[in-house]
């Protein structure tokens, strides 16, 4: 399932974050890439455990916690601390698959990467190129979103970032270990949850909503890993 979620961060949060990122010291993005990804990765990155990365990552995490759609779609068990990257001057990230298990710096805690996430921080009109291209069973998808908007997609997907030929593309990226390992099962639960929420609005108090809620939680109880 590929899903875009608007307004994870509001305009003021994005503006404050961009001001700090524009003044930050960036390093070569290859420092956090796996062996295969190092050969195709060409971007800049905020040092993973830097005070600024931790400060801004906390803002992102609070934005995620406010989003009922994110919670429903990702069903997060653990969220990897958000990181930040920048593409400019032709920088790109060739086709790759994300590393299956990542370690959090400096704790060393391991997280299984079930879901990949990119939070866009730059208005699309400020740069050319930079589209996130995701390949899945339904074809190829091109994603370029307004600032503060998030895209989620299975970490098993082949994906790439097209070269940025004008301006700079600044984003936050991270991974989620979901309580539901299977993308197909997560998609089914998300669709069911959205239907329950729609029923609650259109038919408040309906027994159908109660019954479907029971089905949802029984499936979650059966499939969840914690």
The tens digit of pLDDT for each residue in 19-78 reads 999 999 999 877 766 556 667 888 999 999 899 999 999 999 999 999 999 999 999 999
Number of Cβ within 10 Å of residue 140's Cβ equals 10
pLDDT classification of 128: cutoffs 50, 70, 90? very high
Give CA–CA dist 69/4, Å, rounded.
10
The tens digit of pLDDT for each residue in 170-216 reads 999 999 999 999 999 999 999 999 999 999 999 998 999 999 999 99
Task: Please report the domains of the chain, with CATH numbers, ordered by start residue.
Answer: 3-178 (2.60.120.620), 183-223 (4.10.860.20)
98 token code pair? 């994300």
Under 8 Å between Cβ of 99 and 113? yes
The three-point CA angle 178-140-190 to 5° equals: 30
The three-point CA angle 33-36-41 to 5° equals: 50
The tens digit of pLDDT for each residue in 129-144 reads 999 999 987 789 999 9
Number of Cβ within 10 Å of residue 108's Cβ equals 7
Give CA–CA dist 149/9, Å, rounded.
7
Mean pLDDT within 110-128: 98
pTM exceeds 0.85 for this model: yes
Mean pLDDT within 107-126: 96
């Amino acid at each position: 399932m590929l899903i875009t979620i608007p307004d994870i961060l509001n305009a003021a949060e994005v503006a404050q974050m961009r001001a700090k990122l524009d003044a930050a010291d960036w390093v070569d993005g290859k420092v956090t890439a796996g062996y295969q990804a190092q050969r195709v990765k060409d971007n800049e990155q905020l040092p993973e455990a830097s005070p600024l990365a931790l400060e801004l990552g906390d803002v992102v995490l609070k934005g995620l916690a406010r989003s009922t759609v994110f919670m429903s779609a990702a069903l997060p068990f653990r969220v990897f601390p958000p990181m930040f990257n920048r593409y400019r001057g032709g920088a790109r990230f060739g086709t790759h698959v994300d590393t299956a298990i990542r370690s959090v710096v400096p704790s060393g805690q391991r997280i299984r990467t079930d879901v990949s996430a990119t939070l866009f921080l730059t208005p699309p009109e400020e740069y050319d190129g930079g589209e996130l291209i995701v390949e899945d069973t339904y074809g190829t998808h091109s994603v370029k979103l307004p600032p503060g908007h998030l895209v989620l997609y299975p970490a098993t997907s082949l994906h790439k970032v097209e070269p940025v030929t004008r301006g700079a593309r600044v984003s936050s990226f991270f991974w989620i270990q979901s309580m539901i390992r299977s993308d197909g099962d997560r998609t089914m639960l998300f669709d069911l949850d959205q239907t329950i929420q729609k029923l609650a609005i259109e038919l408040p108090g309906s027994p159908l909503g109660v019954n479907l809620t029971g089905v949802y939680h029984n499936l979650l109880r059966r499939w969840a890993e914690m």
